[in-house]
Structure 1
Amino acid sequence: MASLISWARDSPWCTDGISVRNLKITLQHSTDAWQRSAKQPAHLSVSLSLREPFASAASSDTVDDSTVHYGKLSKALLRKFSETPGSSATTGIWRAFSAIEDALLEEVASKEALMNVLVELMLPKGSMFGDGVALSRYVSYGEVKVEKYVMQLKDVRIPTLVGVNPHERQMKQPLVVNLWLYDVAETALDKFSDLERMLIKKLTREDDRTNVFRNA
């Protein structure tokens, strides 16, 4: 998520912040590696950058209105994804991100208290040949609300021909590829399997004698 912050931030990250990481949730209707609409597990991480420091909470060692209770934050997010399967709150990646924002603003903090919010959904079963798909959403609550999305294919393993020498053309070599797409459209957030297929097709061409990376 750090790479997303450095790319997307529109205000400092952070004055004071709260994070929860790797909450286990279920997306009821997402796209799997076979391009099917299917239920699949996800790991949810959320980082909140607060507009003001939580000095009073730090000095008194109590959870007051200057900060966000991470336990309350975790419970609000888990509760949102335990709703009735098929509800608008849990269908599709964009709707999942929207549900997360609703949970934050309804139960945890107001827009006035938040400066930035960074959310990552890791889908371990979203990739056919890799370690999963990470989808991130960055929101800045300034005078104008800013939203940006990033898609990442993690450690996609592709056997392919590398090099132009005769001995290099005799056997495929394994490539491990990580691919990031920045500023992804909301409507494309469920298209990660299409992206993986395109990547594999590009890097397994055998009709070109030049280095395989020219095809990427």
Structure 2
Amino acid sequence: MSGLSSTLSSTWAVQAKAGEPVAVVSVRNLQSIIYAGLDAWGRPHKGQPILISAAISFAQPFDAAAANDCLGADTVHYGSLSKAILEGIREWTIPVQGDYKPTAAEVLDDIWYHLTGKQTEASGGVLAGRIKEHRAPFLSAETKEGIRSLSVTITLPKASLLGSGVSLTATSVFGEPAPLSAVALLLDSLRVPTLVGVNSNERLAKQIVAVSITIEKLGWTSKDFYTELETLVVQTLEESEFETLEALGTHIADTIAVIYSCDSKTEPRGGQPWGRFWDIHVRMEKPTAVPLADCPIVEVRRMSNNS
């Protein structure tokens, strides 16, 4: 199965390999409505807003485009990029019939396919069986030779009950002997009343803690699980009696890893449980803890066994 997360790198590693960009064309928060993924209550087939961002980093400056003041092979037109992205999600902008439950990863994969002509590392080969019309990708072979990296993010801003939304990001570096890719899931800013703190007053009542969970090296899965992940994290926060964010964050990361490595209800890939290959990043903010600052922040990373 091509999408095993053991073949993926972290987003940080891919960005580090790509290096500092010298020229970038990007589109941020292109909007539409899709009938894919789960809504905040875990229901499929519900129309929900989607925001799509894409960034193309080039290996060389826009010398020809700048000198001639016209578009050429050393750049791409952001309007055409936007149209290609919207074409990639066209299938999901109408209600899905039957029992089929398209995932958010499939939406991301379709966009990537329309841009590059290839699937993401998280596809698991599922896209190939659905594609009936093979068309030329937006990025031609000539253009791709000058591209250093590509990143595409889809955000479902209404797919979380207590957070700011759910995002999936695919990133790849081009021009390397071996492909280097990353796929990450972000559950953004879950705001949950939590008992945590070392001061005596903090032991008397719960305070809001905003927790963001990033799952790196996310390989293919035939179902969305971000709503059940949110339930798990919220339950862990509600049961907290920790004094430090360091201990709480480590406990959250370990709980996620154990549940998705051992729970029989989760879906193994290639005989391996999900969590075994993941890098799990927990970011915690306490808005009321420091009066003269927006918030203190503590971050915890639990690296996968194959990191």
Q: What range describes the TM-score normalised by the shorter chain of this pair?
A: 0.7 to 0.9
Q: Is the 8 A contact 1:42 1:123 kept in 2?
A: yes
Shift in Å at residue 167 of structure 1?
5.2
Distance 2:148 2:201 in 1: 56
Distance 2:223 2:24 in 1: 27
> Which residue is equivalent to 1:37?
44
TM-score, normalised to structure 1, is: 0.83
Shift in Å at residue 133 of structure 1?
1.4
Distance 2:104 2:61 in 1: 32
Match for residue 26 of structure 1 among 13, 28, 33: 33
Report which stretch shifted further, 59-68 or 29-38: 29-38
The alpha-carbon distance between structure 1 residues 167 and 12, as it changes in their structure 2 partners (threshold 3 A), is closer
Matched, 1:203 2:265: no
Q: Secondary structure at the match of 2:113?
A: helix
Distance 1:165 1:53 in 2: 53
Match for residue 74 of structure 2 among 52, 66, 71: 66
> Which residue is equivalent to 1:91?
102
Aligned residues: 209
Structure number having the greater strand percentage: 1
> Which residue is equivalent to 1:8?
14
> Which residue is equivalent to 1:139?
172
> Which residue is equivalent to 2:139?
108
Distance 1:100 1:156 in 2: 27
Amino acid at match of 2:184: V
Identify unmatched segments of 5+ residues in structure 1. none
Q: Is the 8 A contact 2:49 2:156 kept in 1?
A: yes
Q: Is the 8 A contact 2:112 2:152 kept in 1?
A: no
> Which residue is equivalent to 1:177?
211
The alpha-carbon distance between structure 1 residues 167 and 29, as it changes in their structure 2 partners (threshold 3 A), is same
Identify unmatched segments of 5+ residues in structure 2. 1-9, 117-136, 253-307
TM-score, normalised to structure 2, is: 0.60
Distance 2:235 2:244 in 1: 11
Distance 2:79 2:198 in 1: 56
Shift in Å at residue 115 of structure 1?
2.1
Q: Is the 8 A contact 2:103 2:222 kept in 1?
A: no
Percent identity reads 29
Q: Is the 8 A contact 1:68 1:109 kept in 2?
A: no
Report which stretch shifted further, 105-114 or 49-58: 105-114
Shift in Å at residue 200 of structure 1?
0.8
Shift in Å at residue 19 of structure 1?
0.4
Shift in Å at residue 172 of structure 1?
1.9
Q: What CA RMSD, in Å, does the superposition of the two structures yield over aligned residues? A: 2.7
Q: Secondary structure at the match of 1:36?
A: coil
> Which residue is equivalent to 2:285?
none
> Which residue is equivalent to 1:125?
158
> Which residue is equivalent to 1:50?
58
Q: Secondary structure at the match of 1:187?
A: coil
